[in-house]
Amino acid sequence: MEQNTRSSFSSRIGFVLAAAGSAVGLGNLWRFPYLAAQYGGGIFLLVYLVLVVTFGFTLMVTEIAIGRKTRLSCIGAYKALDRRFGFLGWIAAFVPVIITPYYCVIGGWVTKYLFTFVTGGGQAAADNGGFFDRFTQFDAGSTLATLFNFNAPGPWFLLYTLLTAAVVIFGVEKGIEKASSFMMPVLAVLAILIAGYSLTIDGAMEGLKYYLLPDFSKFSASTVLGAIGQMFYSMSLAMGIMITYGSYMQRENIMEHSVTQIEVFDTLFAFVAGLMIIPPVVAFNGGDPTKINNGPGLMFSTLPMVFESMAFGEIIGAVFFLLVLFAALTSSISLMETIVSVLMDKTPLGRKSSTLIVTGATLLIGIPSCLGYGPWAGIKILGMQFLDFFDFISNSVLMPIVAVLTCILIGHVVGTKVIADEVKQNGAAFHREGLHRVMIRWIAPVLLVAILVSELATKVFGLFTI
Ligand code: PFF
């Protein structure tokens, strides 16, 4: 990502596909369904959808416009807008440092499941979470022995991280882009078929109701914070990524259109993932939605049971996990690439050594998340396992902070006109300019500060249980 010889995406659809490729990943397939299940089903879905078209839209337009205007990645871009906000670029750039390691841990889980299905072990995985628990909680007696045992997540995490690093080090983005423009549509079709099948399972209707019909008594500040964090994560917002992508966008692109397309694409993937997972999990739990409480393991414990009850389930399962692996890889590659490019820009290091350093750091920082359900399960931070803690710090703390400060910078320091002018380049329309202005100046920052304070108060001061 050199700033002077900045290349551009060759076409409008090229930009949308690249941004959507970064956006669609484990966030949609793994994270969205378990959060929706955890935060009350329909009410979470409703809050999420409202947030995407208001707040998500505002922030994505803002970030892409900042990038296209300054032609810089996030570290330089915030500084170029106002020197005093230069630090914000650094906080944003730090978010992927927290996310990448645990993203690779989950990527490792996916790799393990792919291997299990390919080698004909799909049936064994279909025991309502038992297989997943034995895998993530595996304890070989000592930390080191567990880390290197294939029955535990360690080697899979290593494998997945090396796969990601191999692509980043060789910079074969072209190949990955080609492959992903073929595999993402296949994943979409397969997900729709599986979701259709899921709905035919006996007892699935209870789950469908839980997923689609909002129960307003389940609404709370946590629902909103959870949905906001998920929105940032899923749309790759508040971590500088969209600024970098915007810096590659051509001036001729109609920005508002592109943003709408990315939003629709990303949200549909998440919605279908929920359809695929939530109705069957409720059915398998005897129709009682309150029993679904297995958090990050949800996708891994439910889907194998769905596959197991399907004709050709082993094959469908294998194909499915291959595609999920692919969606995850395109995202983790862009996450790692972001950190590598900062290192290359800010130090004399080249691509190879930067990638090696980032890979080493990812592996080290990922160890606690990797062992956090197994031998290190006794250690909790703010009442959370390591993986959940890293997820919480990035999505519910750092990203909202970056978002609030971005809103203040644009809404009250440099002015929303800077963004609007950039969006309207070449005579393009900005239909939701009024919404953008009100959101960024008032609604978004007030909402964010209010829930950040309330959430931190409960999590940090209420639940300190190391
Ligand atoms: N948006 C991705 C997902 O939903 O899985 C996660 C992500 C990928 C975030 C790449 C940031 C990023 F640069």
Is the CB–ligand 1 distance for residue 331 below 6 Å? yes
- Å from CA of 201 to ligand 1 middle: 31
- What phi and psi, each to the nearest 5 degrees, are found at residue 384? -115, 155
Is the CB–ligand 1 distance for residue 395 below 6 Å? no
Is the CB–ligand 1 distance for residue 22 below 6 Å? yes
Is the CB–ligand 1 distance for residue 26 below 6 Å? yes
Residue ranges and CATH numbers for the domains of the chain are 2-459 (1.10.4160.10)
Whether the per-residue pLDDT at 52 is higher than 60: the answer is: yes
Whether the per-residue pLDDT at 264 is higher than 80: the answer is: yes
Is the CB–ligand 1 distance for residue 25 below 6 Å? yes
Q: Of the residues 29, 109, 335, 337, which should be mutated to test ligand 1's pocket, given the most ligand atoms within 8 Å of the CB?
A: 335
Q: pLDDT, tens digit, for every residue of 267-297?
A: 999 999 999 999 998 988 887 777 676 688 8
Q: Which atom of ligand 1 is nearest to the CA of 335?
A: 13
- Å from CA of 23 to ligand 1 middle: 5
pLDDT at position 29? 94
pLDDT at position 30? 94
Alpha-carbon gap, residue 340 to 355, rounded angstroms: 6
- What phi and psi, each to the nearest 5 degrees, are found at residue 317? -60, -45
Q: Which atom of ligand 1 is nearest to the CA of 234?
A: 4
Token readout for 242 is: 């969209």
Q: pLDDT, tens digit, for every residue of 122-136?
A: 999 998 889 999 999
CB atoms within 10 A of CB 348: 6
- Å from CA of 166 to ligand 1 middle: 18
Supply the residue whose CA is at minimum distance from atom 9 of ligand 1: 236
> pLDDT class for 242, splitting at 50, 70, 90?
very high
Is the CB–ligand 1 distance for residue 56 below 6 Å? no
Using a pLDDT cut of 90, give the percent of the chain over it.
Answer: 70
- Å from CA of 96 to ligand 1 middle: 9
Whether the per-residue pLDDT at 11 is higher than 80: the answer is: no
Q: Of the residues 64, 334, 336, 398, which should be mutated to test ligand 1's pocket, given the most ligand atoms within 8 Å of the CB?
A: 334
Amino acid occupying residue 61: V
Per the prediction, the chain carries an average pLDDT of 90
Q: pLDDT, tens digit, for every residue of 322-351?
A: 999 989 998 998 899 889 988 998 999 999
pLDDT at position 3? 44
- Å from CA of 362 to ligand 1 middle: 16
251: which residues sit within 8 A by CB, 6+ positions away? 68, 425, 426
Whether the per-residue pLDDT at 412 is higher than 90: the answer is: yes
Q: Which atom of ligand 1 is nearest to the CA of 27?
A: 4
Supply the residue whose CA is at minimum distance from atom 11 of ligand 1: 236
> pLDDT class for 20, splitting at 50, 70, 90?
confident
pLDDT at position 465? 37
Whether the per-residue pLDDT at 177 is higher than 90: the answer is: no
Q: Of the residues 24, 32, 95, 99, which should be mutated to test ligand 1's pocket, given the most ligand atoms within 8 Å of the CB?
A: 99
Is the CB–ligand 1 distance for residue 330 below 6 Å? no
pLDDT at position 464? 42
Is the CB–ligand 1 distance for residue 95 below 6 Å? no
CB atoms within 10 A of CB 290: 8
Q: Of the residues 52, 100, 331, which should be mutated to test ligand 1's pocket, given the most ligand atoms within 8 Å of the CB?
A: 331
- Å from CA of 185 to ligand 1 middle: 18
Q: Of the residues 98, 100, 233, 268, which should be mutated to test ligand 1's pocket, given the most ligand atoms within 8 Å of the CB?
A: 233
- Å from CA of 383 to ligand 1 middle: 25
